[in-house]
Amino acid sequence: MRGRSNSGVYAVVLTAVNNAGNYQAARRFLIFDNVNVVSIKSAEENNFVVNSAAENTSYTWLTSLQGTDNTGDQVGVSWRGHFANVFHNIHKFLSGSLPSSPAIDAGYEEMTGQPPDTVSREAIPNVNGIVKYEVSRAVDHDGGRSLNSPGSWGNVDDFKSEQIMLDIPRVDGDSVRVWVRATDVMDTTKTDSVLVHVDSSLPVIQDIRRGGTPSAEPVHPT
């Protein structure tokens, strides 16, 4: 596995000894990794979806609308298991550190605290080695053809759930793209997106006549 020999969680111990042989030790922690990055864990699986879209359309068609005043249904997005820093997850980079032996006096090591301020003995909250998720979204009325890059990002507060409900005003014929950006403890990122189309209208049945064959067409084909 890449980076195995150098990447890791390190403890630096400084020990001061006086002429009488008395000593005092202090310990600090750091995480080093300049090789391993966030990856898409299982791109071939259908685990990044707009889960409020119609399941029988492989989650590509959204049949609910929302007004500009946010009246109407929110859009649910789920990406469980889609992102990971595999190396950090397997090797438990974020699981916290054991006590020193012999013990280090209180005040001479970081017992609590989280990155980016400090690395302490505490475990760092994560899911599959990911410590932060952000989302961005955009809408067009052109089949998603103009939705090429994300705009502003917003944090996913309950990031360990790997899902979010979003207010996205939309009308029939719109397309919606949602981007998700995953960040690991080393601040490396990976971004992926999902596109859905909006149509709440009923099909139009044409050419009904005795002995004829009726046909149905969507009101807003892409």
Q: Write down the residue that tokens 């980016």 correspond to.
A: 116
Element (H, E) at 87: helix 86-90
In 3D, which of 95, 117, 92, 97 has the Cα closest to residue 109?
Answer: 97
At residue 86, φ and ψ (nearest 5 deg) are -60, -45
The dihedral sign for the CA sequence 112, 114, 119, 125: positive
**Coil, helix or strand for 86?**
helix
The rounded distance, in Å, linking the Cα atoms of 76 and 29 is: 39
Measuring CA to CA, how many Å separate 169 from each of 50, 138, 201? 15, 10, 17
Task: Read off the pTM.
Answer: 0.86
Cis peptide before 214 (omega within 30 of 0): no
Element (H, E) at 90: helix 86-90
> DSSP labels for 128-195?
TTEEEEEEEEEEESSTTTT--S--S-EE-TTGGG-EEEE---B-TT-EEEEEEEEEETT--EEEEEEE
Q: Print pLDDT tens along the chain (222 aa).
A: 444 468 999 999 999 999 999 999 999 999 999 999 999 976 567 799 999 999 999 999 999 999 999 999 999 999 999 999 999 999 999 999 999 888 999 899 999 999 999 999 999 999 999 999 999 999 999 999 999 999 999 999 999 999 999 999 999 999 999 999 999 999 999 999 999 999 999 887 776 666 656 555 555 655
